[in-house]
Amino acid sequence: MPKLTASWPRLRKVLPAILLVMQLLAFSDIVYSDPIVDIIPGEAILRIDDGDFVHPVFSPNGALLAYSKVIVENQTELTEVYLHEFSSGKTRRLLDAANSRNYATYKAFIYRLEWISNQRLRAYISDGDVDTTLVEFDVMTDSVVDTRDGDLEMDWYEKTNRWMQSVKPLPAWEPEVLRTAFENGMQLADGSFLIQPQYSGVEANIYRLTTDGNLTLIRSAAEPSAGALGGALQFNESLLFIQSESSGGHSKRAELLRYDNDEIEILASMATTTEPRLKPLFSNRSIALFFVSTARTYEINPGKLYTYSASGLTEWLAPGMLYDVVASATNKMLALVFWQNEHRVIEIYSVDNFIQVR
């Protein structure tokens, strides 16, 4: 079973300061415009560190945490799936490495875990070639209840269709242009969409589109640094979004921007090795918490955890380079995945730690 500990070792007292210096030296081309830089507040509620762990996901009721473990046996990558129950503190395994071989051609690795309900968990398992198997678990009986071929791209295609069907009338654009705009877009908290057409010969402007068809220009593609939209969140009357400096897939820098009352403010500039992605985690009227990934999934490169409030932007440094962050709105917990010694560790924190600090 994975090793679970309730708090950091004593080294935590000095490690964040050391890591801050190391990160700034290793990535000296990162430009921090305005952000305050601070260490993550409070102690970890839970630490999972006996192996290489990825894809933590909280159940809808916040009672369980599912995650996967990367296993390498005789140079073959395999996977395991675990559940941690917060009320009892117990951890159990849903899938072991030996059984994951059933889904492998060259390897078997999970690239997505998602909860269908509080009782059902679905794993997307790649065979290391071109196929994916969807394996569904009943977490009450710890058994596999469904196995079928899967296609994550089809899921995304269907979601794009649902978004487009929810807007009436749609902008009078060519169908191909309209689809790329939604494929590169995201839905905001009020139900509206932030979209960006990415089609040859069409300006890649960023627009806000309401479900009743009202279209507002947010940022023109004519801006010198304007590139691909990489995610957004709504914070009160403002929009926070990230945009790379180019839309050709080879971005080296990105800007974190705030839109409010027809004005754009640059909150931060950062180095990237791929198109950055912004993931909203938690927000209320006082604060927004979000994660920005700046690298491909196989690269050891620091992602960024931010809060934004009336006091400005704060970047929070983890004990290692951030790989991913997920949140539970139900129990207001964060699961941080970060690199340590070429393996990924999961730590759980309370969202309240961040709300109380800023």
Residue 14 has pLDDT above 70, yes or no: no
Mean pLDDT, residues 276-283 taken together: 95
How much of the chain, in percent, has pLDDT values that exceed 90? Answer: 67
CB of 82 within 8 A of CB of 92? yes
Q: What is the C-alpha separation between 109 and 128, in angstroms, rounded? A: 7
Q: Looking at per-residue confidence, does 291 or 225 come out higher?
A: 291
Question: Of 1-10, 94-103, 254-263, 287-296, which range is least confident?
Answer: 1-10
Question: Of 72-86, 150-164, 300-314, 323-337, which range is least confident?
Answer: 150-164
Question: Of 27-36, 194-203, 215-224, which range is least confident?
Answer: 27-36
Task: For residue range 92-112, list pLDDT tens digits in order.
Answer: 999 999 999 999 989 999 989
Distance spanning both ends of the chain, measured CA to CA: 37
User: How confident is the model at residue 100, as a pLDDT?
Assistant: 95
pLDDT band (50, 70, 90) for residue 2: low
Residue 278 has pLDDT above 70, yes or no: yes
Task: For residue range 46-65, list pLDDT tens digits in order.
Answer: 999 999 999 999 999 999 99
User: How confident is the model at residue 1, as a pLDDT?
Assistant: 62
Q: Looking at per-residue confidence, does 60 or 24 come out higher?
A: 60
Question: Where exactly are the structural domains of the chain?
Answer: 4-150+223-357
Which is nearest to 213 in space by CA: 179, 245, 258, 168? 168
User: How confident is the model at residue 250, as a pLDDT?
Assistant: 56
What's the pTM?
0.86
Distances in Å between the Cα of 140 and the Cα atoms of 39, 58, 64, 160 are 38, 15, 11, 33
CB of 289 within 8 A of CB of 354? yes
- Full strand arrangement of the beta sheet holding 4-5: 4-5, 46-48, 343-350, 333-340, 322-328
Q: At a CB cut-off of 8 Å and minimum separation 6, what does 280 contact?
A: 231, 233, 288, 290
